[in-house]
Amino acid sequence: MIGKNIKIFKELDSTNNFVKLNVSNIEDGTIIIAERQTKGRGLRENSWESDFGNLYFSFVLKNDIFRINIFKYIVQSSVAIIRTLNNFGINGVIKYPNDCLVNSKKISGILIESLGSKSLEYIVVGIGLNVNQVEFNELKEKATSIKLSSNKEISTIEVLNEFVASYNEVLESSFEQVFAEYLEKSIVIKKRISCKGKDYIISDIEKNGTIIIRNELSQKRVAYNEISLKELY
């Protein structure tokens, strides 16, 4: 379970960085929140705009964690975010591998970092969720928030509480059920992509995160970093 211990900071460079630097003094399941991040980031070191009004947090997992299950933690976190949004009357979808969208605009992203080889010392799950932000400047066509989607201003702590409850419910469910929910909400299935100059359709996602693509002549299994999905979004 997560959320037994919660620590809130006015400002951090990154909640993930804070956890990694202090991991020996942080208990399993502890949540670190920053009201503002000065160096928020996402997948492939992409920056994440992290001003006041949104929810930026990380939690650490230390017990029985393995590198082979990294995608499992993404799935669990993604489904928990979707359930959280549903609790506020918002229908979200999952953009493989680690973003959640509302009306084709990004509302949340997940960044997972770890230490170790096969058996890991820890995993840090970092989540950014746009809550009350209404101005996105040059990202206005690509980003949205709970407030923009629901016309209601909601406290970030209320959103966090909903996420914690949803995540802990996910942990109590079978992974088969949670993964089925992830696939149901995924917008990548049946999309057309190009791989090494040939056209394919994404037919499935496996539990380890591998994408299955196929055309009339062949079927392939590829990792997310082997193909570009930018054209889909």
Phi first, then psi: what are they for 199, rounded to 5°? -90, 135
Give the residue ranges of DSSP H helices in 12-88.
15-22, 70-87
Which residues, at least 6 apart from 164, have a Cβ–Cβ distance to it below 8 Å? 2, 3, 31
- pTM for the whole thing? 0.91
User: Are residues 219 and 201 in contact, defined by beta-carbon separation less than 8 angstroms?
Assistant: no
Query: pLDDT band at residue 212, thresholds of 50, 70 and 90?
Result: very high
Query: pLDDT band at residue 233, thresholds of 50, 70 and 90?
Result: low
Q: Region 99-121: what's the mean pLDDT? A: 90
Distance of CA 49 to the CA centre of its chain: 15
pLDDT digits (tens, 9 = 90+) for 9-45: 999 989 999 999 999 999 999 999 999 988 665 444 4
CA distance linking residue 201 with residue 217, whole number of Å: 12
The pLDDT of residue 141 is: 87
pLDDT beyond 50 at 223: yes
One-letter amino acid of 3: G
pLDDT digits (tens, 9 = 90+) for 116-175: 777 888 999 999 999 999 988 888 888 999 999 999 999 999 999 999 999 999 999 999
Residue with tokens 């992409």: 46
Which residues, at least 6 apart from 42, have a Cβ–Cβ distance to it below 8 Å? 48, 98, 109, 111, 128
pLDDT digits (tens, 9 = 90+) for 166-199: 999 999 999 999 999 999 999 999 988 888 888 8
- Dihedral sign computed on CA atoms, order 31, 36, 39, 41: positive
Residue with tokens 């206005």: 140
The pLDDT of residue 214 is: 94
Residue with tokens 């929810």: 55
Tokens of 12: 């951090």
Domain boundary assignment for the chain? 6-185, 192-232
The pLDDT of residue 45 is: 47
The pLDDT of residue 44 is: 44
The pLDDT of residue 158 is: 97
Q: Round to the nearest angstrom and report the end-to-end CA distance of the chain.
A: 33
CA distance linking residue 88 with residue 130, whole number of Å: 13
CATH architecture of the domain formed by 6-185: 2-Layer Sandwich (3.30)
The pLDDT of residue 50 is: 66
